[in-house]
Each structure stands twice: as structure tokens, then as C-alpha cells.
Structure 1
Amino acid sequence: MYIQRNIDKELLDWRQDKHGKPLLLRGARQVGKSTAVKHLAKQFTHFLEINFEEQRQVHKIFEGDLDPKMLCEHLSVLYNVPIIPGQTLLFLDEIQACVSAISSLRFFYEKYPELHVIAAGSLLEFALAELASFGVGRIRSLFMYPLSFNEYLLAMEEPLLLNAKSKASPNHPLPEPIHNKLIAHCKRFLVLGGMPEVVATYVEYKDLLRCGQVLDDLTTSLKADFAKYKRQVPYLRIAEVFDSIVQQAGGKFVYSKAATSSSHKQIKDAVDLLALGGLVIPVTHTAANGLPLGAEMNHKSRKMLLLDTGIFQRLLGLNIGDLLIEDDFDAINKGAIAEQFIGLELLKNASCYKQETLYYWHREAKNSNAEVDYVIQKSENIIPIEIKAGRKGSMRSMHLFLEEKKSSFGARFSLENFSTYDNIAVFPLYAVNELLHWNPSH
């Protein structure tokens, strides 16, 4: 089955552009890049897919002249597929395995813009990091992540539920039965995560144990990639740092706890490689005194998220019964899984045309520590976000931030229905997209 993705619309719009830039799909392994391209291919008469990891002989075609029309002539003969502008989609998959093919993309835009070309790669970021330039302004990047909660609801054939959710806001809460249904779906999504294979397995079999096995297989496969990350950083060090990131989730990442026998630089190199591979997503401290938020970021103070809550809960060995059955926030939030989920949803619901950076805020002072889980920019406003247990949850850090930064309102995520408390807007865990599209004046 094909699971509908948000990026499908962007791909269809690109298909209508007769002189579009070549697309570069970027994202971690197994998030659905190739599947989305193959779905788009149904809009074309001809489809030529080249996998540079599997089809090593094709590398030789890219070793000489990179003139795109000559390349296409050779590829068409080799694969016996017509390459006709407007009728053929050329898909260069696992392109990181052929650096010269990456270099060729810029020439497709300059000399053959009428041909539709998409490239993708599971470890593409490593190859791009080593290229001085790969066609800035001539190639359009699209960033993909695992399924968002909204995409999951579509996969579960709940379009009416999704529509009701999209119309709700702190000023217009949902009826309690609908809210409770969404909370139940959200708790299941925390367990499953958004990896397409896992969601497809659940849709077909409705079996969480079977999905757990798929998650374990995915995790094994992703860890096996550590050996490909970089030869200068040993596989075991990357694996040790990765395990430490899982254990330190929810708090500031302490490098000295990550690998006892390694230096700070060695650990940092491993963290950077995990981030490049898309498995780990940093949340960086910002002073948040003004925009852009990145102007006052502190790279030495970071928290770390995992790519997917399903993988996270498997690695941490969480009791999925607690996640599914309990209505107590603390039981559900073991391992800070709710914080992980909100951060990932902020990324998944942002524009696919740029790579968003996540920020948090904290203040360390004697007898006056304060921390806000996330800080985002919404129009010209700086919005603090906290993930709390409920109505009685302490909001001291939130109020301190609002007062100190002169922010107009803050947002809190919990198991509660939509509501407001003074200048704090309350959103259910499942409603990150609604926060991003909310107009406080309505």
C-alpha cells in the first residue's frame, strides 16, 4: 500500500513545471524517499530508476563528460528506456555512491532544464559535506522525515478526524469524545513512530508485536550503517555515543558521559556524524533575545532527539502498555518521549524546502534555574513551548520567559483539550500543526 505523504503535493507541483530545477530528496534511510518518487512516476509515460549502489557499471558513464544530453543518450541505450522531456522521470537513487553523478545535477538545470530529474540518497549528507559546491541555486533540496501524526491519521483512514482536528484551536476546543479518540491515536503513534514500513505493517495487521519486530529490524539496519559513516571514527565509538544519546534523552547532553575512553572532540565527531546521518537531531540552546533565534545559539549546550519515537521506545525498552493504557502524563512521558514527539512534529510540519533547526532555552542561576522545552519563531513572535502533565503542572519557567523576553504568549502541550490560561495557549499533544497555523486573534 502507498501511504500518502505531505511531500506528494510538492512533487506534483514540480512535475507541472516545464523548466524546474533538479530535485534532491534528503533525509535519513527508510523514511520513504524512493517510495514517494516511484509514486510520482505514475504521472509520467516513462520512468528510469538508477541505483548507484546496486548498479556499479553505470558509474563509468559519469566518469567522463557530464553533458546531460550525452549522459541521457547513454543511459537510454544502457537501460532501454526512452528519455523524453516531459514524458520521462529520471531518478538517480543512492546518488551518494557516485560523487560525479551529484556533480552532474547542476548541468541538468543549466543545459537540459526541460527534463525532470530527481536524485536521492540514504547517506547523501556525508557526500554533500565533502563537496565544496554541488550546484547552489541550480538544485532544489526537499527534506523528508518519517510520517507526521497527520500523515499517520491518513494512513489509518481517518480523514474526517484529521479535518476536525485541523479546525480546532485554543478558542475552539474539540468535543471530548473526539479529543479522546485523537489522544488514543496519538499514544499509539508514540509507540509505532512514523517509519513508513512500521505504519504500513500496523495498517495491514493491527499487530503491535509484529510492528515491534519491524522496528527492531530497522534499528539493526540503521546501526549497521555506522560503519559507512566515516572511516576516521570507529564503528564502536559511534555505537557507544548513540546508545548514550538514547539514555540521556530529555536533558542536556553531557559529552563526558557518552564514551568514557574517548576525548571530547572524538565524541563530538561521533555526534556530528549521527546528526549528518539523520539519526540524531540536535536541539540547541538560544538566548532568544531576538530574531533570528540562531543569532544567539550556543552549540555547547544541546539536547538530542532520535529520528523516531518508535525506534526510541524500542531502544529504551519502554513498557508500551503504559503508553497505550495510562492516562497519566508522567507514565506516558517516560524517557521524555512526549518531548521527543513534539520536537519531531515541529520538524515534520515545517517547510520541506529548508532544514529547520530546533531550539530550547534555559537559564542557570543560583536557586533560579529555568528551562523551556522549545522556542520557535511564528511570524515576528518568539513563542516558548513547554510539554507538561496538565492543569497543575508548574509553569514557572514559561512565565519567567514571557516576562523576561516580552513575548506575547506561550504554548503548552499536554493530554488536555484545547484551552487557554491567561496568555498561555494549551494544545493537545497531537496538535503541533495546529499551533504552527494558529492565529491568536481568531
Structure 2
Amino acid sequence: MQRSIMEKLIDWKNSPYRKPLILKGVRQVGKTWILKEFGRLYYQNVAYFNFDENEEFKQFFDTTKNVSRILQNLTMASGQSIKPEKTLIIFDEIQDCPQVINSLKYFCENTPQYHICCAGSLLGIALAKPASFPVGKVNFLQIDPMTFDEFLLANSDNNLASYLSSINSIEPIPDAFFNPLVEKLKMYFVTGGMPESVLMWTQARNRELMQETLSAILEAYERDFAKHPSVSQYPKISMIWKSLPSQLARENKKFLYKVVKNGARAREYEDALQWLVDARLVHKVYRCNKLGLPMAAYDDLSAFKLYCVDVGLLRCLSQLSPSAFGEGNRLFSEFKGALTENFVLQSLISQFEVVPRYWSQLNPPHEVDFLIQRENDIFPIEVKSDTNIKSASLKKIKELFPDQIKLRIRFSLENLKLDNDLLNIPLFLADHTDRLIGIALEHIGKIATRENPNNKQST
């Protein structure tokens, strides 16, 4: 499988400022595979150490902070060869190994010639603990579920993936590409982006195995919930997790604790919710009171929406059968378009550094699904699950904040087009949002310059 994160790993390898790397990501998202593949392709050899399979390796880090001694002990115990610059050293399953994490400081300071990558499940939880941590001595990368573009490549639809990457103007997409891409996107909603699930479909073409894979991943997550240090939090984490489909099935998708359990209060469940956020199993999208920078300064901390880490896992968690793939556009519109919103959010998070927000007002009621920050501009985004593209909220937010909004964005099953300042992006192009915004802004800027050549507009 081709993963775009490989390019970032290569940049890390070649950087003169390289530090030990911590690769974060949820269970079974492909952390170990991508690191081993990276080592196979770009190093002479790989030295792999799994601290879950070989707990005795932890002792080498407990007894000394001398990096040379640690590596000597690891080499002798495992029989693996370690050469500076030539070997990729992989420390796997380090989430329960604080001494291993702390040792990265000394690898960084004393032996920068060794290339070290670390991975582990629930690392977001481990790194959030108030333990000794090598601040400023490590690099971080985040690996998320496979994108739709990566799914196309895994499915041998290289021509479709190449076409999407080649789009350099805002004009309608021919039916010869548009219709197949819609069908492929439906399948992606079924499989999601977890690599094993994608493999079961793209290689084995086995829908039952694909469904079993997703169910097994959900079961593994349930077992992880029990790893919370407070036993009392386990059922709360599980209840929040299982409430996701119900939360997203409502017209107003604002997270409500009473949907988790009647009479539930925020203070009783906030620790459990934060555990899921730190584990990156859910994405927390805050309501933004106004359009200003930085967006975090205008967060309404009492109002937020929760989305699942992967659209395929959300479908499976919702017990929506894969057979919905063959029922027109049902997958896009099922339970108030929740799968579609979840898919778009996944795409946005991987492209923009600032986590998206959403905007709403009560009187009269209006809500814009997402706000994204691109450089120093904020763009409102509306997600439509089919071809019904009417949106009073996009019009309203433009009326309220005319000077802050250069471009409004709508995702739908309509074709690619730009109507004045409204950019319609077909759902299957969500992975290219950042690039399409740039193209649209350049086009708007050229029109403004032609209309008023004495007042050139910067885009």
C-alpha cells in the first residue's frame, strides 16, 4: 500500500535537525508496517524491538542511561545488527515504557548518528501523563487512517487517483471520471481507511472478512478502554464511544451528555471523554463564537461535536450493513449525513494544521458544519450528503462576516464549480481541499484585478 506519510519519513531521515521520531496513531492504523517498510526501502537494515513481546528489553533502560550500553545490550540480546546512519532502529509498543521514552533525550543529545523511530498504541494517553518526557528532544508524526486517494491506489485505480491530482482549474469533471469516483467513494465509506479493512476488500474482495476486520478493531478498542488508570472510567468511556452514532444522527449534532445516559453530567464524564480525545479515537470540534484569529480564542468550550477517527469504523459501530453500498446514495445520507460529515472532517484534519471548528447561532437558527483556518484566512464549510445543495447558513455567515470571508465552500455530489465566492467541491475531492481553495482564490483575484486594475487584490 502507498501511504503519503512515507514522504514525511524521508524528509525526517534527510533532515540535518533530525531527532528521535515518535509516530502516533490509533491501534491498527499501520504504524509498525509503515516504519518497517520505510526501513526496508531506505536503510541497509532494520533493528526492531517490541517491548510488549519482549518485556525483558525494558530492563536495559532501567539500569542505565548510557546509550552505547543500551544499544550493546539490545544487540547482544536480539542478535540484530545496529550501524550508525545505516540502520533504522524501531522501538515498538513503548506506551507503557516511560524509561524508553525518557531515553530518547540521551539518544538525541549524545548519539544523533543513530536513526530511531518509536511507535505504540495509546501513545497520546501515555504522553499526556505527567511523567518525565524529553521535551524538545523528539520529532512527532501522526499517521491517520488511509485517505480516499490512498484507497484508490490500493484498489489499483491509479488512473482515477492521478486524475484527481492533475486537476488544476475549477471546471466540471467529465462523467467518465465523476461517476466511477462516486461509486469508489461509496465503497470507501464501507471499508473506511483502516489498512487491514482496505486490504480485505482491495485484495481479497471479501466483504465478510472486511466486516469482521472492522468488528475486531472495535473489540480491540473496547479492551483498550479498560486500560484507563481509574476502573470507574471504563464504562463511561465505553458509553460515550457507543453513543457516537446517536449523537451524529440528530439534526443538531452538538454533543449531549444526556444521550450517553439519562441524567449524565459533564463533570462526571469529562475525564472519560478526554481519554478518547487523547487516544485520538474521536475528534472534538468546538463551536466558534465568531470568525477571528486565532480560532481557539473564540471557542465555546461548552459546545462541541464529536466525530469518529474513521468513517468505516463509524459505519460498523452504527451497525449499518455494507449492503447499503448498493442502495443509491443511502450511504451518503444515512442518519442525517453523519458518515459524509465524518469523512470530510477526516480529510480536513489531515490537510490543515489548525483543528476545524463549527459555527452556529440560535435566533434565527443557523449552523455551518466546519470552519477551517488556511494561513491567515477562515473559510466556512457546508457538507451536503447528496445533490440538495441549498444552504441558508452559508449565506447568513457571509452576511454577518463579509470582510472575513473570501470564499465559501460546499461539499456535495454536485460537480466542481465556482459561483462567485461559493466553491462547490465534489465529495470525492475532499483530500484536495487545500489545493482547490488556492486555485479558487487565484481565480477570484484575477477577476478582481480585471474589474479594477488600479486596486489589485492579494489572494
Higher relative contact order (CA 8 A, sep 6+): 1
Q: Report if the CA contact (8 A) 1:170-1:419 is conserved.
A: no
Structure 1 stretch displaced more, 334-343 or 97-106: 334-343
Question: Which one of the candidate residues 318, 321, 326 is aligned to 2:320?
Answer: 318
**C-alpha distance in 1, partners of 2:229/2:300?**
26
1:435 matched residue in structure 2: 433
**C-alpha distance in 2, partners of 1:396/1:286?**
18
**C-alpha distance in 2, partners of 1:128/1:328?**
40
Look up the equivalent residue of 1:280 and give its one-letter code. V
- Give the Å deviation of 1:392: 4.4
The alignment status of 1:119 with 2:118, answered yes or no, reads: yes
Q: Report if the CA contact (8 A) 2:207-2:322 is conserved.
A: no
1:59 matched residue in structure 2: 58
Normalising to structure 2: TM-score of the pair?
Answer: 0.90
1:417 matched residue in structure 2: 415
Local SS of the residue matching 2:145:
coil
2:294 matched residue in structure 1: 292
1:339 matched residue in structure 2: 341
Look up the equivalent residue of 2:94 and give its one-letter code. I
Structure 1 stretch displaced more, 333-342 or 420-429: 333-342
1:77 matched residue in structure 2: 76
- Give the Å deviation of 1:135: 2.1
Local SS of the residue matching 1:408:
coil
Deviations 1:27-50 (A, max 9, x none): 111111110001011122232211
Distance 1:143 1:155, change over 3 A: same
CA RMSD of aligned residues (A): 2.0
**C-alpha distance in 2, partners of 1:112/1:17?**
15
- Give the Å deviation of 1:20: 1.5
Deviations 1:170-229 (A, max 9, x none): 722211120111111111101110000000111112122221111111111111111013
Q: Report if the CA contact (8 A) 1:170-1:427 is conserved.
A: no
**C-alpha distance in 1, partners of 2:97/2:383?**
43
**C-alpha distance in 2, partners of 1:290/1:19?**
34
**C-alpha distance in 1, partners of 2:227/2:413?**
41
Q: Report if the CA contact (8 A) 2:337-2:384 is conserved.
A: no
Q: Report if the CA contact (8 A) 2:94-2:118 is conserved.
A: yes
2:350 matched residue in structure 1: 348
Local SS of the residue matching 1:150:
helix
Local SS of the residue matching 2:360:
strand
- Give the Å deviation of 1:122: 0.4
Pairs within 5 Å for 1:211-230: 211-230=210-229
Q: Report if the CA contact (8 A) 1:282-1:358 is conserved.
A: no
Local SS of the residue matching 2:136:
coil
- Give the Å deviation of 1:58: 1.1
Local SS of the residue matching 2:276:
helix
2:45 matched residue in structure 1: 46
Structure 1 stretch displaced more, 43-52 or 14-23: 14-23
Percent of residue pairs bearing the same amino acid type: 29
Distance 1:333 1:417, change over 3 A: farther
Runs (5+) with no aligned partner, structure 1: none
- Give the Å deviation of 1:328: 6.2
Aligned residues: 434
Q: Report if the CA contact (8 A) 1:170-1:426 is conserved.
A: no
**C-alpha distance in 2, partners of 1:209/1:147?**
20
- Give the Å deviation of 1:390: 5.2
The alignment status of 1:405 with 2:401, answered yes or no, reads: yes
**C-alpha distance in 2, partners of 1:89/1:169?**
38
Distance 1:13 1:155, change over 3 A: same
Question: Which one of the candidate residues 372, 392, 397 is aligned to 1:396?
Answer: 392
**C-alpha distance in 2, partners of 1:410/1:89?**
45
Normalising to structure 1: TM-score of the pair?
Answer: 0.93
Local SS of the residue matching 1:248:
helix
Q: Report if the CA contact (8 A) 1:168-1:434 is conserved.
A: no
Local SS of the residue matching 2:130:
coil
**C-alpha distance in 1, partners of 2:285/2:63?**
43
**C-alpha distance in 2, partners of 1:205/1:245?**
30
The alignment status of 1:267 with 2:269, answered yes or no, reads: yes
Local SS of the residue matching 2:117:
strand
